[in-house]
Each structure stands twice: as C-alpha cells, then as structure tokens.
C-alpha cells in the first residue's frame, strides 16, 4: 500500500472518529429556545395541525408572532397517539415542549409525574380573567389543563332509515331508542339499528358509546371521586346495552370496531343511529353527500326530566413544568383562549369554544351545528374520565369485561363487580 | 557412549541487509497507524453503543426499579416486577398466544414458500408465466404493515368481500365476524401474518432451488428415484441450510410482531389475540407501568436470545 493510500485511509479514519464524537456530543446539546438576539422560540407539540385544514394552525401562529415580536412558535405535530407518547417521554427526559396539546384523560398521570406547570399561578400572575373559560381541568385544586375546544358527542340518526322503519322522530328515551333500533334492523338484513365500537386499541367507545348513556340520564360512574360502577345508573345503562346486543340490533364486528369504522358504517347507511363527535359531520357529508341525517340529544331513561349530560372530548392545552419560557408560553395559551382566536379555532375544527364569549361562525350558517349548539347549551358537558388516573386503562379494563359479558362468559353483575375491583386498584 | 552427532547449529536469525534508515520509533506516525482502524470502526461502535447497548442496559435497569419515568425518585425493588409479570394470568395468555401465532406462522411460511418457489422453478411453466406469477406471489411482501392491516380489516369485515364470496359459494350461511369473534380472531390474525410473510421464504428458497446442481437429480433418476424421492432426498437436503436459517430468523421476527396485531385487533376481543408485544405496550403506554413493561421486555429479550443463540450456532456450523 502506498503512502498516499495509507494517508487517505488515515484521514478517512480520523474523519469517521471525529464525526462519531460530534454525533454523540450533539445528543447532549441543550436548547433553551432562546437565540442570541433574544428571540424566544416556543415549541408547541400537539395533534391538532394534521386534523385542521392545511396551514390553518400555522396561520394562527403567524398572527400570534406578529402580535408578540420576539416570540416564535415551532409546531411539533403528529397523530394523537404519538403526541401522547412524545409528551410522556419528554416529561421523563425533561425535554417536553413548552406548550403541549393535552387530552383530559392524561392529566392525572402527568400530574403525578409533575410534568405540567401550575396554570392557576400563571393566570394569577398575569391577572387573567378566568370567568371567560368554559372549564378548567384541576388536580388537587391546581389548574393543569384548559380545554381549548370541545367536541361534543350527540346522537346521529339516519333520516331515511328511520322513515323506512316507520319511526317518525329521533328517539329521546331508551325505550324509544330500543324500539327504533329493532325497527331499523328489520328494514334490511345488512342494516342494524345501532353501532358500538369496542376496539381495545382505542377503547374510547366505553366513554363515548357506553358511559354516555349513564351521563345522559344524569347518572355518574363515580362517588366522591372514586369508582362507583355498581350503582343503579351504571347498572341500568349496561343492562340497556346488553339488551340491545341480545336483540341483535348492534352492527356486527363491534368487539374490534374503532371510531372510524363506526363513522363509516353510519356514512354508508348500514346503521340507523350512532353517538358520535360533531367533528365528523364534514367527513360524513363529504363521503356521502346524499345522506340525510339529524342530530339529537342522547336518549335518557324513560321519565327523566333533568339536565342531560352530553359527552365531550377536548383539545386541551397546558405548559411544561420544565419550560424555561413559561411567561412566553402563557402568552400563547392566552392568545389561543382569546375570544377571537378561540372562535376561529373552533370554527376550523367544527367544535365548541373553550371561551364562553367566543361564537364559532358555523353556528349561524349550519342548521345541524345550530341544533347541536342548542343541545350543548341545554345540557351540560359530561366526561367523568377527565382527570382520572390511567383513564385509558380504565376504559380498556371495562371494555374487556364488557366484551366477556357480550360474549356470554359472565353476567352484568359480574362485569360491574370485576370492573369496580380493577378500577379501585388504580385509585 | 559418546555421541558422535554434532550439536545442531543454532538456527540462523533472519539476516536483514543493513538498513540505512534508522528503525522507526514509536512516535506520532506509529500512533496514527495504530489508531486508524479504530477510527474506521468508531462510528459503528458508537452507534451500536448509543442505539443498542445503552437502551438495553437502561431497560434492564428499569426492570429492577419500582416505577421509572412516572416517578421522580424510583426505588430498587429487586425481582418484584419479574414476579408480578410471571404470575400474571394475562401474561400466560399472551405467551400462549404468541407461541401459537409464531409457530403456526413459521410452519405455514415454510410450506407455502417452498410450494410457490417450486412452482416458479418448474420447467413446465414458460418464462412469461413465471414472471407473472413471480410478480403476483411477491406482492404481499411489498405492502407495509399498515396497508396490510387496513386491507384485511376491510376484507374480513362482516360486510366484507370474504363473507360475500363464502356466502355466495354456499360455504357459510351467515356472516362471520372473523376478527371480532373470540373463536376466530387468533386464526384470522395468524392467517394475515402468513399471507404477509410467505414471499420472503419463496424468494430465498427459489434462489436456493436454482443453485442445486442438475447432476444430482440426474444421478437420482439413474438410481430409479421417482419425483417424490428426488424431492425428499435431493431438494430438501440441499435447501435445509436455507430453510433452517430462515425459520430461525422468522421465529425471532414473528414472536415480536406488534404492528399487525395492534392495528387489526388491538389484542382483543377480550384477550384472545393478546401477544407479548401488545401486553408490554399496554403496560407502558396505557397503564404507565414502565418498570413492569421493562421486566416484560427483558423476558421477551431472553426468549429471543435463546432463538438467536441457536441461529448463531447454526450459522457457525455452516461456516
């Protein structure tokens, strides 16, 4: 080997070593988000951007940056599940983004981890008017999350299928619902009255499609903040679901069905009724423009006259406790919760605003949303999973017990007793 | 008696011509030469250290703590997490499901891969037909897991194509909930995994078949062997090293299958398709029990290492 070749080999070897050292060194580089000219760059991790019209969240951030010179916002966007994993890992490693999109179901666990900043203190410090917020998620009296927008889950009914089944108006009680579901299931062998997604991959069917029956009749699955699954309200709702199952009016494939499958079944007119998010109205209209459907409150037990709880899911917002730029992060939260921006965000996402003064533009322009807004105002948002520890696991364990019951392996009493015992271990 | 033999002459040391250049001292040049190989391997070594060794050691460390990540000051709990995992009935179910899923998949992969490879190697088929079948048979391998999961969820839907065809053919008289029924779900996900994985075997075995010398078959024919005997005594022994290597790799890969199960059944209905991978994922990202999840992951690692040991031993024996 010539000297040149040897020399080239040596150079390559040193280059490789230097590159490797540089690579490992860069792993530990800390970034406080502040540049030399004093500009603060906030990281905002969320799953909202992919679910909003393209570029719309960036446009809102541009407006924020224009109003707040010296603050830039970097959007870290991903699907819901990966955002959750990213937030958990970031919290453990101390690299959580300054501002994070949150689901109420995660809050208790993040609270234990100590990864979220005390928003109560930040609001007090900036003399923020808290009365304009529709709700706040608190753990031990401390606000950790503010719901930016709320997606309510009313009952959707297929007008044509109901008419064919001889049902003149959407059911408002459980008996009417059962009768309508039975009648719809007789219209065609490929059509069922109701759809119930119970996939264990995303077990939110327990929250939206099962517990919604409890809340719609003013019931609760908790007592003094602890599980109370064996009470009459839960027992009656689960019995009702079991009865619909036994009458064979539930769409087949329920035990591994996901929320998107539920929407697809309804969109393709294979089910007459479903409980679903308002956010899907646009999708249903796009995929089946001919489908005629209505929105109503979730039916309650016969004779119920009280206020009905309407299930909801929220896009919440919080600030990382490890953020070195909490004051700037609060400015972003304040901006997103302001009357004007919050109305825009809720219009873009087809949801209801977290600011009580904000009015999304679709309320006046769309009859279905107008109706939904009336239902929303007439009842109260109900989601008892918000703030519970390991909320998703609670849904999953209930789901597993419900699946055993629907498969005939146990009765409702055993289901509720087992679920109660499992839930108690997490409290 | 006095020895008459002469003492052997001492062995001559190698005679080097007088070197006009002074011997090289172990200075900067020597050091450079010695360091050069380390420079070449250092990127790989550091990558393996950062991306493999560190995470593995961290996970093993986590498995002995009470609950890392969710607790700021986790405590050492010894083997408690392993005892919890190994005595959990869901873990036993997941282990049994993983074994059934893995061995059924690998066995079917071998049989189908061999069958299709022999078909594509057959002199009875023309070149064009072979090219067409080769493209068709290899298709499942070209799809990503997400596509495979969505595709089969649609096909196996109670209102899907499979039920439609079976009902029209008179094979079934009512819709079967393939993925949602506790009685058929494990079979259905195993079937999907078999469909997705056989082309890997087919391609490799086909290459092996094309490398078998023809004179072996000619010699067997001369000895009076029929087609089946030639397959049994020539083809199979020649393919044995390939099949064993691939089966061992496949055992390792399939036992760790997560995405397909998660996207089709999520481990349900109830827990009939719960695998060790989905069980571990749920512990970590649903229950936030990262230490228990780490203990489960270490158990999976140990099981995989047993398979890897046999694979490496087999590879060494081949070399």
User: Which residues of chain B lie closer than 8 angstroms to A14, CB-CB?
Assistant: 35-36, 39
Distance CA A165, CA A192 (A): 11
- The answer to whether the CB atoms of B38 and A270 lie below 8 A apart is no
- The CATH number given to B88-288 is 1.10.3720.10
Write out residues 239-298 of B within 8 Å (CB-CB) of A. 262-271, 282, 285-288
Reported as a single tens digit per residue, the pLDDT across A361-403 is: 887 788 888 888 888 878 888 899 988 999 999 999 999 999 9
Structure tokens belonging to residue B90: 């869901």
Average the pLDDT over A330-359 and give the result: 92
Residue of A10, A85, A399 with shortest CB distance to B36? A10
What distance, in Å, lies between the first and last C-alpha atoms of chain A?
71
**Cβ atoms of A66 and A35 closer than 8 Å:** no
Would you tell me the crossing angle of helices B276-285 and B89-121 to the nearest 10 degrees? Answer: 130
> Buried b / exposed e across B291-314, counting CB within 10 Å, b at 16+?
bbbbbbbbbbeebbeebeeebeee
Distance CA B187, CA B182 (A): 10
Work out the number of other CB atoms within 10 angstroms of the CB of residue B144. 10
Among B287, B289, B293, B294, the residue to mutate for chain A (most A Cβ within 10 A): B287
**What pLDDT shows up at residue A285?**
93
- Written as one string, the DSSP assignment of A15-70 is HHHHHHHHHHHHHT----SB-TTS-EEEEEEESHHHHSSTTHHHHHHHHHHHHSTT
Average the pLDDT over A142-148 and give the result: 95
- Written as one string, the DSSP assignment of chain B is ----SPPPPPPPPP-PPPPSSPPPPSSHHHHHHHHHHHHHHHHHHHHHIIIIIHHHHHHHHHTTBS-TTTSSS--B-TTHHHHHHHT-HHHHHHHHHHHHHHHHHHHHHHHHHHHHHHHHH-TTS-HHHHHHHHHHHHHHHHS-HHHHHHHHHHHTSTTSHHHHHHHHTTS-SS---TTTSTTTHHHHHHHHHHHHHHHHHHHHHHHHHHTS-HHHHHHHHHTT--HHHHIIIIIHHHHHHHHHHHHHHHHHHHHT--HHHHHHTTT-STTTT--HHHHHHHHHHTS--HHHHHHHHHHHHHHHHHHHHHHHHHHHHH-
Write out residues 34-53 of B within 8 Å (CB-CB) of A. 35-40, 42-43, 45-47, 50
pLDDT band at B17 (very low <50, low <70, confident <90, very high): low
- The answer to whether the CB atoms of B40 and A199 lie below 8 A apart is no
User: Which residues of chain B lie closer than 8 angstroms to A109, CB-CB?
Assistant: 70, 288
Reported as a single tens digit per residue, the pLDDT across B65-94 is: 998 888 878 899 999 999 999 999 999 999
Residue of A13, A270, A400 with shortest CB distance to B36? A13
- Written as one string, the DSSP assignment of A339-383 is HHHHHHHHHHHT-EESBTT---THHHH-HHHHHHHHHHHHSEEE-
Secondary element (H or E) of residue A236 = helix A232-246
Compute φ and ψ for A120, nearest 5 degrees: -60, -45
pLDDT band at B33 (very low <50, low <70, confident <90, very high): confident
Residues for chain B: how many in total? 319
pLDDT band at B130 (very low <50, low <70, confident <90, very high): confident
**What pLDDT shows up at residue A28?**
39
**What pLDDT shows up at residue A27?**
40
Vertex B87: Cα angle to B82 and B93 (nearest 5): 110
For B19: left if phi > 0, alpha if psi spans -120 to 50, otherwise beta; the answer is: beta
- The distance of Cα A222 from the centroid of its chain, to the nearest Å, equals 20
**What pLDDT shows up at residue A370?**
85
Distance CA A129, CA B90 (A): 50
**What pLDDT shows up at residue B92?**
97
Task: Say if residue B23's pLDDT is above 70.
Answer: no
Burial of A332 (0-12, 13-18, 19+ CB in 10 A): buried
- The answer to whether the CB atoms of A24 and B46 lie below 8 A apart is yes
Q: Is residue B179 less than 8 Å (CB to CB) from chain A?
A: yes
User: Which residues of chain A lie closer than 8 angstroms to B33, CB-CB?
Assistant: 6, 10
pLDDT band at B179 (very low <50, low <70, confident <90, very high): very high
User: Which residues of chain A lie closer than 8 angstroms to B45, CB-CB?
Assistant: 20
**Cβ atoms of A115 and A400 closer than 8 Å:** no
Structure tokens belonging to residue A311: 């299930």
Lowest mean pLDDT among A66-75, A236-245, A285-294, B24-33: B24-33
Task: Say if residue A199's pLDDT is above 80.
Answer: yes
Residues for chain A: how many in total? 427
Name the residue of chain A whose CA is nearest to B71's CA. Answer: A113
Task: Say if residue B129's pLDDT is above 90.
Answer: no
Residue of A17, A24, A200 with shortest CB distance to B266? A200
| CA-wise closest residue to A195 among A249, A154, A124 | A249
Vertex A317: Cα angle to A145 and A384 (nearest 5): 45
| CA-wise closest residue to A157 among A292, A254, A22, A278 | A292
Reported as a single tens digit per residue, the pLDDT across B244-293 is: 989 999 999 999 999 999 999 999 899 999 999 999 999 998 888 999 99
- Written as one string, the DSSP assignment of A145-192 is EEEEEEEE--EEEEHHHHHHTT--S---BHHHHHHHHHHHHTT-TT-E
- The distance of Cα B92 from the centroid of its chain, to the nearest Å, equals 22
**What pLDDT shows up at residue A295?**
94
Among A8, A253, A426, the residue to mutate for chain B (most B Cβ within 10 A): A253
| CA-wise closest residue to B265 among B152, B100, B141, B103 | B152
**Cβ atoms of A157 and A293 closer than 8 Å:** yes
Burial of B276 (0-12, 13-18, 19+ CB in 10 A): buried
Name the residue of chain A whose CA is nearest to B285's CA. Answer: A85
State how far residue B243 is from chain A, nearest Cα, in angstroms.
35
Domain annotation for chain A: domains and CATH numbers: 40-151+313-369 (3.40.190.10), 155-296+389-425 (3.40.190.10)
Vertex A132: Cα angle to A126 and A133 (nearest 5): 90
Name the residue of chain B whose CA is nearest to A8's CA. Answer: B36
Among A256, A262, A271, A403, the residue to mutate for chain B (most B Cβ within 10 A): A256
Distance CA A129, CA A255 (A): 46
Structure tokens belonging to residue A98: 């300054």
Distance CA A394, CA A207 (A): 10
Average the pLDDT over B185-206 and give the result: 95
> Buried b / exposed e across A175-199, counting CB within 10 Å, b at 16+?
eebbbbbebbbebeeebbbbbbbbb
Average the pLDDT over A181-194 and give the result: 96
- The answer to whether the CB atoms of A13 and B267 lie below 8 A apart is no
State how far residue B112 is from chain A, nearest Cα, in angstroms.
29
**What pLDDT shows up at residue B7?**
52
- The answer to whether the CB atoms of A407 and B158 lie below 8 A apart is no
Residue of A9, A20, A400 with shortest CB distance to B46? A20
Name the residue of chain B whose CA is nearest to A203's CA. Answer: B266
- The answer to whether the CB atoms of B288 and A253 lie below 8 A apart is no
**What pLDDT shows up at residue A22?**
44
Reported as a single tens digit per residue, the pLDDT across A34-80 is: 777 789 999 999 999 988 889 999 999 999 999 999 999 999 998 88
State how far residue B208 is from chain A, nearest Cα, in angstroms.
38
- The answer to whether the CB atoms of B268 and A256 lie below 8 A apart is yes
User: Which residues of chain B lie closer than 8 angstroms to A91, CB-CB?
Assistant: 69
Vertex B315: Cα angle to B311 and B318 (nearest 5): 140
- The answer to whether the CB atoms of B36 and A400 lie below 8 A apart is no
State how far residue B122 is from chain A, nearest Cα, in angstroms.
43
State how far residue A93 is from chain B, nearest Cα, in angstroms.
8
Structure tokens belonging to residue A181: 């579901």
Question: Which DSSP category does A307 fall into?
Answer: P
**What pLDDT shows up at residue B125?**
81
């Amino acid at each position: 080997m010539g000297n040149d070749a040897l020399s080239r080999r040596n150079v390559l070897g040193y280059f490789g070593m230097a590159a490797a050292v540089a690579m490992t060194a860069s792993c530990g580089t800390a970034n406080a988000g502040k540049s030399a000219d004093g500009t603060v760059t906030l990281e905002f991790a969320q799953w909202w951007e992919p679910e909003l019209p393209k570029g719309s969240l960036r446009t809102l951030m541009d407006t924020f940056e224009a109003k707040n010179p010296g603050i830039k916002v970097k959007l870290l966007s991903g699907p819901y599940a990966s955002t959750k994993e990213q937030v958990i890992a970031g919290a453990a490693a101390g690299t959580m983004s300054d501002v994070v999109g949150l689901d109420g179901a995660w809050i208790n666990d993040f609270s234990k981890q100590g990864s979220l900043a005390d928003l109560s203190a930040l609001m007090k410090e900036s003399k923020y008017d808290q009365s304009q917020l529709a709700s706040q998620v608190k753990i031990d009296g401390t606000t950790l999350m503010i719901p930016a927008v709320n997606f309510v889950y009313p009952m959707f009914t297929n007008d044509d299928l109901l008419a064919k089944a001889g049902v003149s108006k959407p059911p408002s009680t459980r008996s009417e619902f059962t009768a309508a579901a039975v009648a719809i299931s007789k219209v065609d062998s490929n059509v069922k009255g109701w759809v119930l997604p119970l996939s264990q991959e995303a077990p939110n069917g327990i929250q939206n499609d099962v517990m919604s029956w409890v809340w719609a009749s003013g019931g609760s699955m908790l007592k003094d903040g602890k599980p109370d699954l064996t009470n009459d309200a839960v027992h009656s709702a689960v019995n009702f679901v079991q009865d619909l199952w036994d009458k064979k009016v539930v769409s087949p494939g329920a035990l591994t069905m996901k929320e998107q499958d539920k929407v697809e079944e309804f969109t393709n007119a294979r089910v007459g009724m479903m409980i679903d998010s308002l956010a899907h109205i646009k999708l249903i209209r796009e995929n089946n423009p001919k489908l005629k459907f209505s929105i109503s409150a979730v039916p309650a037990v016969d004779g119920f006259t009280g206020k009905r709880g309407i299930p909801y899911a929220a896009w919440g917002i919080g600030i990382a406790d490890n953020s070195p730029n909490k004051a700037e992060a609060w400015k972003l939260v304040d901006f997103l919760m302001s009357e004007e921006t919050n109305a825009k965000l809720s219009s873009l996402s087809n949801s209801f605003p977290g600011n009580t003064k904000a009015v999304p533009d679709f309320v006046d322009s769309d009859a279905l949303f107008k109706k939904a807004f009336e239902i929303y105002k007439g009842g109260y948002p109900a989601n008892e999973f918000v703030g519970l520890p390991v909320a998703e696991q609670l849904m999953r364990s209930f789901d597993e017990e419900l699946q055993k019951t629907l498969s005939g392996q146990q009765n409702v009493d055993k289901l509720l007793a087992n679920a109660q015992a499992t839930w108690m271990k997490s409290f | 008696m006095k020895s008459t033999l002469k003492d052997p002459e001492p062995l001559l040391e190698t005679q080097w011509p007088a070197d006009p250049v002074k011997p090289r001292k172990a200075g900067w040049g020597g050091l450079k030469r010695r360091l050069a190989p380390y420079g070449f391997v250092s990127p790989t070594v550091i990558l393996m250290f950062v991306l493999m060794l560190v995470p593995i050691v961290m996970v093993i460390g986590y498995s002995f703590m009470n609950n890392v990540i969710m607790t700021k000051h986790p405590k050492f709990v010894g083997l408690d997490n392993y005892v919890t995992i190994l005595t959990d009935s869901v873990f036993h179910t997941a282990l049994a499901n993983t074994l059934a899923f893995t061995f059924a998949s690998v066995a079917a992969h071998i049989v189908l891969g061999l069958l299709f490879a022999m078909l594509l190697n057959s002199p009875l088929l023309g070149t064009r037909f072979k090219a067409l079948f080769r493209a068709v048979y290899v298709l499942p391998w070209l799809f990503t897991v997400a596509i495979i999961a969505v595709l089969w969820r649609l096909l196996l839907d109670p209102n899907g194509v499979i039920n439609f065809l079976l009902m029209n053919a008179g094979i079934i008289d009512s819709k079967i909930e393939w993925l949602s029924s506790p009685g058929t779900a494990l079979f259905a996900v195993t079937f999907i995994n078999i469909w997705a994985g056989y082309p890997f075997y087919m391609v490799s075995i086909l290459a092996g078949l094309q490398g078998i010398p023809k004179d072996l078959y000619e010699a067997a024919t001369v000895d009076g062997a029929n087609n089946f005997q030639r397959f049994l005594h020539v083809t199979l022994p020649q393919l044995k090293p390939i099949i064993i290597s691939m089966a061992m790799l496949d055992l390792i890969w399939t036992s760790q299958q997560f995405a397909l199960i998660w996207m089709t059944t999520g481990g349900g209905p109830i827990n009939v398709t719960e695998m060790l991978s989905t069980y571990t994922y749920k512990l970590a990202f649903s229950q936030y029990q990262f230490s228990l999840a780490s203990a489960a992951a270490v158990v999976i690692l140990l099981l995989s290492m047993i398979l890897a040991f046999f694979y490496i031993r087999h590879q060494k024996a081949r070399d």
